[in-house]
Structure 1
Amino acid sequence: MHIDAADLTAQLIRCPSVTPEEGGALVLLEELLCEAGFVTHRVDRNGTPNLFARKGPKGAPRTFGFNGHTDVVPPGDAASWTHPPFSGAEIDGMIWGRGATDMKSGVAAFTAAAIDMAESLPEDGALILTITGDEEGPSRDGTVALLDWMRAEGERMSVCIVGEPSNPNVMGEMMKIGRRGSINFKISVKGVQGHAAYPHLVKNPLHALVRYLGELTAEPLDQGTAHFEPSGLQVTSIDCGNKTTNVVPERATALLNIRFNDAHSSESLVADLTARAKRIETETGVEFALESDCSGESFVTEPGPFVDLVRAVVSRETGVTPVLSTGGGTSDARFVQNHCPVLEFGLVGRFMHEVDERVPAEQVRQLARIYRAVLDGYFA
């Protein structure tokens, strides 16, 4: 059974699956996968749509997995688009529409490759596809729910490719073997309000907060590690709600984000920032309270047979040897890495989330060929 990955991309774009709506995208994929002999399960949780599909024996010692999402960000003003955002129109070799790059094309490519491979699986081999409708949303009931369900059902992937766009400009130039962690902090401080002319009667929370933030930003958190660039800390907001110049406010808050490498964990960063706050609290008398929210720990899939296989196939198919990167934001690979070795390879991400999002149709077909060649190599 052959599926044209570009045509499937267009069909998926026509499903208006703005997160968290399913929009018909998973229904379409489930029908195709069932027709190809895959066992499928809808693993919806808390209203979030998810799809699991497997071809081959459960628990096979060699089980290759793909992960991706069909939900998309809102298109914005449809009148700003050259072609309607859910048209899936193919014009001059480009497929237009929301999700064309991120990442209905990636899902279409690995679905086409998996269906094409389905009848050639060895007896000890299996394919698993995990597709969520929650990657662009809170990411609490998407891939996480699928992995929870798989654990309960005894389903297991040996390795996994996440089909997110991974190339900045040219097909084949980059694959992601890890991601930095990301943690947000809200720093709340409380002092004593009073007249600015009588500093001995106040405890200025802003002075303490600025001192604290100055310490955090004065020196880099680290110098980078073997696979990661230095961690980055960015102060994103400072606010006290005070519009009067002669009043020292009682309270102030700051927001910051840290993108951290494998020299740190969310736990170690919370401990460090808390210890710094306690010291300044003792020295100034201004009370500090910290709230944190970690959206993912840093991880890296060390180069080895899996990484080498994918890299060799990409190089052969594109003529470009991909750089092994851990840069960028977060993806659902941060959840998959707790289950099995994972890497990310997909299309060029140039137009993702933009008005007039689009992708070359032939690039989608090329990605499907790459995925199929990886499967051939893995199961050889």
Structure 2
Amino acid sequence: MSRTLQLAEQLISRPSLTPDDAGCQQILGERLARLGFRLETIESGPADFRVTNLWAVRAGADGGRTLVFAGHTDVVPTGPLDEWTSPPFTPTHRGGQLYGRGACDMKSSLAAFVVAIEEFLAARPDPQLTLALLLTSDEEGPSVDGTVVVCHTLAARGETIDYCIVGEPTSVERCGDMIKNGRRGSMSGRLTVNGIQGHIAYPHLARNPVHAFAPALAELVAINAAGGWDPGNAFFQPTSWQISNIHAGTGANNVIPGAVVIDFNFRFSTESTPESLQQRVQAVLDTHGVDHTLAWTVGGLPFLTPPAELVEAVQQAIHDETGIVTELSTSGGTSDARFIARICKQVIEFGPVNASIHKIDEHVAVDAIETMKNVYRRTIERLEQIEAGSAA
């Protein structure tokens, strides 16, 4: 059994449900400390939801540029235990796959990070490149006391990050066939349309908010269907608007509701801003005279890392290790990369095939674990070559 696989199994055996790190960061930190990393634990959040974050740094010679490996030790709940083929926190092998909660998202990536660094430093104990890890136990939860807190702390201290690899599962069919070099932004709205509750037999004595909102809804749907929010660009799909929930009524079939509440979400490209989308929605509501209140929540801004040193280093590492010409993509949901991108210009995500994440019987291909470790190590080596060349 490889050292990477052993470490992955050790992490999977820890039931680290958000926000409980369950000792995962201690396991990783002890190995990093032996390599000369300076460890800093940053706790955040209320007493009943205490989040553990680890910032570990090993300075390069002459203060070289910094490569950060970022990820999360927390996992989502298991779901019904009786539906699992094997216990979710007992690492189990079947058919070339390693099963367990967090096997794919993302404890195998964390193991690959650390062993890749160990192998690199064994071969080059005094590199120019500064290496760091940023780990949190609050990625699968609210994500308000995790990576974002560490990023704010670093920014306040004036610490810089030059490159960052987030170990999210990004591959589709084979490990390495896709990496994320950006993500769309996410913004949610809660719209409350006001009416007057009344008896359904006496509509002239009431005002139905669902009816009042219907023309505006039709226009918003038409804008979305026509791709009218923005056209997207070479890296991003057009911005999309979707309703997730509509709530109205008392449950009785003879009462006109007094209000209707609509929850919706934008996934937006770099062609739009939160302000521009908010203004568009407000204009539609005003045009139709909708009596309403509207609250907005920006979950994350879009980011993009154009092809440069980091993208090229990862693409080359994947090709050298697997022969795959990897695809760049900004598809999918959000990740903690959205926070890191605020303080780091070059951020990518690379990890195993994502087909089983958050599912019953989550798993990762055993051979992919070693592939990831080798790709991470090759990437470090390539960036070190660039750094050493700049210092020469």
Q: TM-score, normalised by structure 1?
A: 0.93
Deviations 1:237-286 (A, max 9, x none): 222124444443221111111111111122222222223223322xxxx5
Query: Aligned to 1:51, what secondary structure does the other structure show?
Result: strand
Greater mean alpha carbon deviation, residues 17-26 or residues 198-207: 198-207
Asked if 1:261 is matched to 2:269, the reply is yes
Greater mean alpha carbon deviation, residues 262-271 or residues 318-327: 262-271
Tell me if the contact between 1:56 and 1:121 (Cα under 8 Å) persists in the aligned partners: no
In the other structure, the counterpart of 1:375 is 380
In the other structure, the counterpart of 1:24 is 23
In the other structure, the counterpart of 2:209 is 205
In the other structure, the counterpart of 2:389 is none
In the other structure, the counterpart of 1:187 is 191
In the other structure, the counterpart of 2:364 is 359
Deviation of the 1:311 alpha carbon: 1.1
Deviations 1:1-35 (A, max 9, x none): xx821111000001110111111111111111112
In the other structure, the counterpart of 1:95 is 98
Gaps of 5+ in 1: none
Q: How does 1:307-346 map to 2 (within 5 A)?
A: 307-340=311-344, 341-346=346-351
Query: Aligned to 1:369, what secondary structure does the other structure show?
Result: helix
Greater mean alpha carbon deviation, residues 18-27 or residues 187-196: 187-196
Q: 1:260 to 1:58 in 2, by over 3 A?
A: farther
Q: TM-score, normalised by structure 2?
A: 0.90
Query: Aligned to 1:49, what secondary structure does the other structure show?
Result: strand
In the other structure, the counterpart of 2:78 is 75
Aligned length: 374
Q: 1:140 to 1:351 in 2, by over 3 A?
A: same
Q: How does 1:39-188 map to 2 (within 5 A)?
A: 39-46=38-45, 47-57=50-60, 60-119=63-122, 120=124, 122=126, 124-188=128-192
Greater mean alpha carbon deviation, residues 325-334 or residues 249-258: 249-258
Q: State the AA in 1 paired with 2:211.
A: H
Q: 1:360 to 1:152 in 2, by over 3 A?
A: same
2:299 alignment partner, one of 292, 295, 299: 295
Gaps of 5+ in 2: 386-392
Tell me the distance in 1 between the aligned counterparts of 2:97 and 2:241: 39
Q: State the AA in 2 paired with 1:55.
A: R
Identity rate, percent = 39
Runs of 4+ more than 6 Å apart: none
In the other structure, the counterpart of 1:229 is 237
In the other structure, the counterpart of 2:390 is none
Q: 1:244 to 1:94 in 2, by over 3 A?
A: closer
In the other structure, the counterpart of 1:215 is 219
Tell me the distance in 2 between the aligned counterparts of 1:23 and 1:32: 17
Deviation of the 1:210 alpha carbon: 1.9
Tell me if the contact between 2:249 and 2:258 (Cα under 8 Å) persists in the aligned partners: no
In the other structure, the counterpart of 2:32 is 33
Q: 1:175 to 1:378 in 2, by over 3 A?
A: same
Deviation of the 1:147 alpha carbon: 1.2
Deviations 1:336-355 (A, max 9, x none): 11111101111111211111
Tell me the distance in 2 between the aligned counterparts of 1:161 and 1:202: 57
Deviations 1:162-198 (A, max 9, x none): 0100011212211101001111111101123344455
Tell me the distance in 2 between the aligned counterparts of 1:89 and 1:229: 39
In the other structure, the counterpart of 2:9 is 10
Tell me if the contact between 1:113 and 1:368 (Cα under 8 Å) persists in the aligned partners: yes
Q: 1:243 to 1:74 in 2, by over 3 A?
A: closer
